[in-house]
């Protein structure tokens, strides 16, 4: 390679790739659209699995740093019926394989582990084009360009690199989350805090569910999942927080007040997050000098695996390049073959049989697979 590995996107997948390459002494640059590491909040908690995400952090030589940011007790798990009856209450004894961390903290340890200047902030890719013989030109929104021998699209759902390899585009997956935060839960939202417990809580029902996590700093993070067409959400004015909250809460009329409080007592305006997915089994023919990882390659509706898989992709690609630095095509072929075969859902997911849980409704943000794996 005559140029550093060019990675588009400083999400968890792109950063793990850059870090694993760095561990092996291979130069990379990461071009990120965000103007700075703090430009955007990084979302809530992620459970990092011992069979994928943790393997990636091990390859990145960051497992101690990871253990230092694990939030104790957050692997506890409750399942509630819509009337508040506790159907399952599992404590966190510290031995589970899915410790929870704040996504922002995980991103921070990855950023801190890279040489200064590795990430080029404010570098939004506008276009990419092949130049032949495995070389590609990348054009940025500010008009700047670069030419690279190895281009990796780690730029998420709406990847600007993917069109080089595939005509697939994400489609609405039928379900959306509405996210809400409740702060100072123990003192200001005691009933909701008790319902959630020390870790995660899910109250499932066909076509609608309330999930909540207890995040760092005594914050409850609610995810309301509703299986509705996009038109239904478009009719709600999310710029009017009170009206949007009332409309979403109406879907849960008759549910226990400690559950609906997770919607109506929000300290933040409700945020709509529609779920998109690439076609199942999305793949492409090998093209020299370019590949994809993470959501750019295999976006699914949230199922608790996406970030873990993006990190594993980054680690596996980094290791493949390090093993064959003089035969990049063989490295990319080996990486892609293994990635295409990797399930994008937790295999245990299909067996969910807790009362009231619709296992086909794949929106459980890692909670259903937690239940099935540990249940």
Q: Report how far residue 37's alpha carbon sits from residue 11's, in angstroms, rounded to the nearest whole number.
A: 10
Ligand-binding site membership of 273 (annotated): no
What are the structure tokens assigned to 188, written together?
């200001």
Confirm or deny that 184 is annotated as ligand binding: no
Candidates 128, 130, 110, 127; CA nearest to 119 is 110
The verdict on 305 binding ligand FAD (CB under 6 A) reads yes
C-alpha distance from residue 337 to each of 95, 129, 201, 260 (Å): 33, 24, 37, 46
Is residue 283 marked as binding?
Answer: no
Residues 150-169 that bind ligand FAD (CB under 6 A): 154-156, 160
How far apart are alpha carbons 15 and 56 in whole angstroms?
11
CB of 254 to ligand FAD, least distance (A): 26
Residue (of 345, 344, 337) closest to 284 by Cα position: 337
- Tell me whether residue 84 or residue 104 sits nearer to ligand FAD (CB atom): 104
Q: Which of 177, 211, 255, 349 lies at the binding interface for ligand FAD (CB under 6 A)?
A: 177
- Tell me, by CB under 6 A, how many residues bind ligand FAD: 32
> Is residue 103 marked as binding?
yes
Q: Does 170 bind ligand FAD (CB under 6 A)?
A: no
CA distance 159 to 164: 10
- Sort strands 171-182 and 271-277 into parallel, antiparallel or unpaired: antiparallel
Binding mask 1-40 for ligand FAD (x = CB under 6 A): -------xxxxxxx----------------xxxx------
Q: CB of 23: closest distance to ligand FAD in angstroms?
A: 18
Our CB check for ligand FAD shows the closer of 224 and 307 to be: 307
CB closer to ligand FAD, 224 vs 256: 224
Task: Rule CB under 6 A: say whether 306 interacts with ligand FAD.
Answer: yes
**Degrees (nearest 5) of the Cα angle 291, 323, 57?**
75
DSSP string, 80-99: E-TTS-EEEEE---S--S--
Binder to ligand FAD among 134, 170, 197, 304 (CB under 6 A)?
304
Rounded to 5 degrees, what angle do the CA atoms 179, 180, 185 make? 140
- Which residue's CB is nearer to ligand FAD, number 28 or number 125? 125
**Interface segment toward ligand FAD; rule CB under 6 A; list 89-97, 192-200, 243-251, 302-310:** 302-310
Cβ within 8 Å of residue 261, ≥6 positions away: 182, 189, 191, 192
Told to check if 366 binds ligand FAD by CB under 6 A, we report yes
Binding site for ligand FAD (CB under 6 A): 8-14, 31-34, 46, 124-125, 154-156, 160, 177, 273, 294-296, 302, 304-308, 310, 365-366
Q: Which residues are annotated as a binding site?
A: 40, 47, 103, 295
Q: Which residues are annotated as a binding site for NADPH?
A: 40
């Amino acid at each position: 390679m005559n140029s550093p590995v060019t990675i588009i996107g400083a999400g968890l997948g792109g950063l793990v790739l850059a870090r694993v390459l760095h561990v092996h002494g291979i130069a990379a640059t990461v071009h990120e659209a965000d103007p700075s590491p703090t430009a955007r909040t990084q979302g809530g908690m992620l459970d990092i699995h011992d069979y994928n995400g943790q393997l990636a952090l091990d390859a990145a030589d960051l497992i101690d740093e990871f253990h230092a940011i694990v939030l104790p007790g957050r692997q506890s798990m409750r399942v509630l019926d819509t009337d508040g009856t506790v159907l399952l209450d599992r404590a966190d004894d510290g031995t589970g394989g899915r410790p929870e961390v704040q996504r922002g903290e995980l991103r921070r340890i990855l950023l801190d582990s890279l040489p200064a200047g590795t990430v080029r902030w404010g570098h939004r890719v506008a276009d990419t084009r092949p130049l032949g013989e495995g070389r590609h030109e990348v054009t940025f929104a500010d008009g700047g360009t670069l030419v690279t021998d190895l281009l990796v699209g780690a730029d998420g759902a709406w990847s600007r690199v993917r069109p080089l390899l595939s005509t697939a585009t994400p489609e609405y997956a039928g379900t959306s989350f509405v996210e809400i935060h409740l702060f100072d839960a123990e003192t200001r939202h005691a009933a909701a805090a008790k319902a959630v417990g020390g870790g995660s809580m899910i109250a499932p029902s066909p076509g609608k569910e309330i999930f909540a996590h207890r995040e760092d700093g005594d914050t409850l993070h609610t995810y309301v999942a509703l299986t509705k067409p996009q038109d239904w959400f478009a009719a709600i004015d999310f710029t009017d927080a009170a009206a949007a909250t009332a409309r979403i809460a109406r879907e849960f009329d008759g549910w226990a007040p400690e559950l609906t409080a997770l919607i109506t007592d929000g300290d933040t305006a409700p945020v709509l997050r529609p779920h998109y997915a690439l076609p199942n089994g999305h793949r492409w023919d090998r093209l020299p000098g370019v590949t994809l990882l993470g959501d750019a390659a295999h976006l699914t509706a949230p199922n608790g695996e996406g970030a873990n898989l993006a990190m594993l992709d980054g680690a596996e690609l980094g290791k493949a390049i390090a093993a064959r630095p003089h035969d990049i095509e063989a490295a990319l072929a080996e990486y892609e073959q293994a990635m295409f075969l990797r399930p994008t859902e937790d295999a245990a997911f299909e067996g969910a049989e807790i009362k009231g849980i619709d296992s086909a409704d794949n929106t459980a943000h890692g909670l259903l697979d937690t239940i099935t794996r540990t249940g």
